[in-house]
A and B are shown apart, each in its own frame.
Chain A
């Protein structure tokens, strides 16, 4: 009887949850459809931020990709956006700063910068007017590239003329589809905003904890202090001490703690489905790459003689094996942080994509608003799966933060380790 009641309540919760999502999404969709109509009339640009159904058809992949992408404005609720500071640099033009609200969701171009699906793009064409200019809309043309892949190229429409839009520069060197374009975006984007918030929260939280330690000196811990002490002691006793060793762990405890909590808070913020959460921070390669590079630097700057000896000239094995092993070891120096980068990025991105896809079922089953029954079915199924996935993602949020921290600690441990067989030899002589 009790179990039945539990099941029922879960079902009701899932239904209510999905219905809320449906309403919210439906509203956004209606707005965007409005945007599409006007765009087709060539009067206004599309509603920014939610790509995927400009021709009235629901494009699940586009929607998901739009939601996990970084953005220059923060969608709060039903068309309300939090304007974020934009800091843009074009080598041929210099710096442009302001708030993202100055683009009026893509209707106004400032110094050739246009908001396209929430991201700032730039018209490199010198013929485009400087200063503020009205934009009739943003259109996309499919272009077939040399390798046969199709790609969207966006154009801003100004006075009947189409101008090519450059996306922000990326530093993948063309391997991942990005390139250095005509400008760099150093804005406080949605991801940066979330990271700042996470950092601020961490500082507030831990200053309260540290205050507890100052207040309760020679006393039992209390309140938030005793709650967070569990984490601190866990990281110390289960991660840094066993991985780095009794002798060196104290130096690296702040770094490992910061890594763990920064990643954890970013992960958790990403799981909150509404403002100020929902940003896919740790599911962005730039973020995980930066964390991995910092880890790489910390590990290798702390490398002791033994560590480098093991990398370049492994002791205790035949010389011909050393010749094979040394390149492998040197490669592994870079593979370790690379794996950290990919692991965190892939896990968090995948979680966001799965949840967004499950929510997308509502629109897919609803046949783009034609079938209310289908939408309701999708809401129930998608809602249940989303609730389930959210729980798994909660686990993943903790797990990935922990894995990043413990692996970093183990790499640091390998770098600072002093091998005892050398000492034994030294004593024997």
Chain B
């Protein structure tokens, strides 16, 4: 027996053809199987999913855009409606004002007319009353005159004086 039996043999740097053969076989098999069975499908699935996500994002953006458009449209409509309302209110107010003023005017006119009419009526009535009064006075004076005449006619001088006084009275009235 010798002293040190196992001198260091750095065998891992000596390429063994068997190991090369098996490494190549195993690696190529793993490559083929994994590629066919896993990596290609995974790659396609990932791509598909990324596309789906992109589409979803695009759609969301589109929907958001549409929403914004819709909102703007609504706001526009609202604004228009409000303007319309304000206009209508304003017009109504104006109409009211004119109607009121017209009515006032009319009422004034009517009142005036009524007053006028009343005045005319009063005048007429007064005139009628005056006429009536005149007539009454006339009648009275005739009666008086008759009575006086009947008495006076008995006295000539008195008769004349009486007539004269009567005429003076008439002038006075």
Contacts and interface: CB of A to CB of B under 8 A. Distances in A.
A290 B21 CA distance: 8
A55 B7 contact: no
Query: For chain B, what secondary structure do more than half of its interface residues adopt (helix, strand, loop), or is it mixed?
Result: helix
A61 interface: yes
B14 A177 contact: yes
Contact of B15 (A39, A59, A209, A289): A289
A96 interface: no
A283 B19 CA distance: 12
Contact of B12 (A87, A192, A210, A283): A283
B115 interface: no
Contact of B7 (A152, A191, A229, A236): A152
B27 A217 contact: no
Contacts of B16: 70, 168-171, 185, 286
A55 B1 contact: yes
Contact of A290 (B27, B30, B39, B41): B27
Interface in A174-196: 176-178, 184-189, 191-192, 195-196
B7 A199 contact: no
Interface residues of B, number: 45
Given A150-B7, A254-B35, A210 B27 contact: no
A152 B9 contact: yes
B39 A257 contact: yes
A359 to B, nearest CB: 17
Contacts of A68: 12
B42 A213 contact: yes
Interface in A183-242: 184-189, 191-192, 195-196, 199, 202-203, 206-207, 209-210, 213-214, 217-218, 229, 232-233, 236
Interface residues of A, number: 80
B167 interface: no
Given A59-B4, A59-B6, A206-B37, 18 more contacts: A69-B9, A189-B19, A192-B26, A195-B22, A196-B26, A202-B34, A213-B42, A236-B46, A255-B31, A258-B27, A262-B27, A286-B16, A286-B19, A286-B20, A287-B23, A290-B20, A290-B27, A291-B23
Interface of A: 39-40, 51-52, 54-55, 57, 59, 61-62, 64-66, 68-70, 87, 117, 119, 139-142, 150-152, 168-172, 176-178, 184-189, 191-192, 195-196, 199, 202-203, 206-207, 209-210, 213-214, 217-218, 229, 232-233, 236, 250, 253-255, 257-258, 261-262, 280, 283-287, 289-291, 293-294, 345, 349
16 contacts: A51-B6, A68-B12, A140-B5, A142-B4, A172-B15, A187-B18, A188-B22, A189-B18, A191-B22, A196-B26, A218-B49, A258-B34, A261-B34, A285-B15, A286-B14, A293-B24
